Amino acid sequence: PLQLLKLKEMFNSKFGSIPKFYVRAPGRVNLIGEHVDYCGYSVLPMAVEQDLLIAVEPVKTYTLQLANTNPLYPDFSTSATNIQIDKTKPLWHNYFLCGLKGIQEHFGLSNLTGMNCLVDGNIPPSSGLSSSSALVCCAGLVTLTVLGMNLSKVELAEICAKSERYIGTEGGGMDQSISFLAEEGTAKLIEFSPLRATNVNLPSGAVFVIANSCVEMNKAATSHFNIRVMECRLAAKLLAKYKSLQWDKVLQLEEVQAKLGISLEEMLLVTEDALHPEPYSPEEICTCLGITLEELRTQILSPNTQDVLIFKLYQRAKHVYSEAARVLQFKKICEEAPENTVQLLGELMNQSHMSCRDMYECSCPELDQLVDICRKFGAEGSRLTGAGWGGCTVSIVPADKLISFLANVHKAYYQRSDGSLAPEKQSLFATKPGGGALVFLEA
């Protein structure tokens, strides 16, 4: 409420009026299941308490005015009747426009009412905690509320997952789903097609701690992420062809497993047989599939991956199938709650990090160093979270070690002698599962 009152005052001094309502959407941390959602597999995230808040006033003009309490993000205004999203620049307001456009197109509306919006948030940006998806989800819920329409949380999540692709990121649906479907006190197993969420109760004797490597990673500004999506798509097609399935219709690694009707462990064996560890060239992929380079570029690859020269299909498939199995094991351990639950979950998180580092190559030296420091000072397990290449780690820490863990990690990673890392209070914090997106009417 204090945050709301402060936002109300800032809104008033910015727009000279009072907001009609407020929308919040949380950031999230993915406990296990990295880079598997866009392959069709389940993930296991929870919402964090950090969130994004938007104060909104619908106006009679057809102008959308966006402002941000953070001066790093400049004001933006546009005609609400003609929303253009520039894929070449992942500017902050474009994420808002994604959510708005998703709802607008879902209802087939040609023009929207104008509105004044002031955005406030405390999710560290480009840190792998889904600040961008929180903004997309928030904007979707803002637009829905202004229109006076209704949708279920699942429908909202699906629309926002699809609409974030306007910015050029070919992501799965994890971030948007947890933003809407999160509930306080529980993590969620999120499954796709059809989208559904199941509660996963985390062990009471441990705390999950987030540590920011302070290396920024913007998925929409770099091609790493989309290259991985394409490597997984190509691996799925080669595996399908090897098993004489209709490969041209296959897009996700999960579809190959489903069509073969075998376990994840068996899929790992098929991968060993079907793919080689040496990188594939575009020419070799074309030979395997019996297509031309032109067909590969125009019919399979996304625009920003058409010039890639090597594809590591074996490594990416091995990561995805093994990581998908770890998600299911994680959930099973939480349900059965054996004596050594924390240790077992920690081992899975450590295996996940190794696979992300070595097979998926989505870590970076700072993340590896931070993970090592976290393990050294008492974490039972630690891994990169939220795509990698920078951003955050998540660690499982026995509750009785938390205080010393925080102090030691702070000293070892954040208080460098050369002072190269700004000691941010947002960089290292214990977290517990928070609730999902909400609309408030009164501040």
Closest CA to 123 of 74, 70, 86: 70
Residue 416: CB atoms within 10 A of its CB come to 11
* Contact assessment for residue 32 and residue 45, using Cβ atoms and an 8 Å cutoff: no
Closest CA to 236 of 38, 33, 2, 443: 38
Residue 103 CA to residue 98 CA, distance in Å, equals 9
* Contact assessment for residue 431 and residue 239, using Cβ atoms and an 8 Å cutoff: no
**Sheet containing 114-121: order of strands:** 76-79, 63-68, 114-121, 44-59, 21-32, 438-440
Whether omega before 194 lies within 30 degrees of 0, making that bond cis, reads yes
* Contact assessment for residue 49 and residue 426, using Cβ atoms and an 8 Å cutoff: no
Q: Which residues have C-beta within 8 Å of that of residue 387, sequence separation ≥ 6?
A: 34, 35, 128, 217, 219, 225, 362
DSSP-based three-state secondary structure for 303: helix
Q: Which of 37, 175, 307, 418 is catalytic?
A: 175
DSSP-based three-state secondary structure for 160: helix
Residue 320 CA to residue 326 CA, distance in Å, equals 10
DSSP-based three-state secondary structure for 117: strand
Residue 316 CA to residue 102 CA, distance in Å, equals 31
The question of whether 368 is a catalytic residue gets the answer no
DSSP labels, 56-83: EEEESSSEEEEEESSTTS--EEEETTS-
Closest CA to 394 of 223, 212, 240, 270: 212
**Sheet containing 428-431: order of strands:** 381-385, 392-398, 206-212, 428-431
How many CA atoms lie less than 13 Å away from 169 in the CB half-sphere? Answer: 29
Q: At what angle do helices 174-181 and 131-147 cross, to 10 degrees?
A: 60
The structure tokens listed for 392 are 């955050």
Residues involved in catalysis: 175
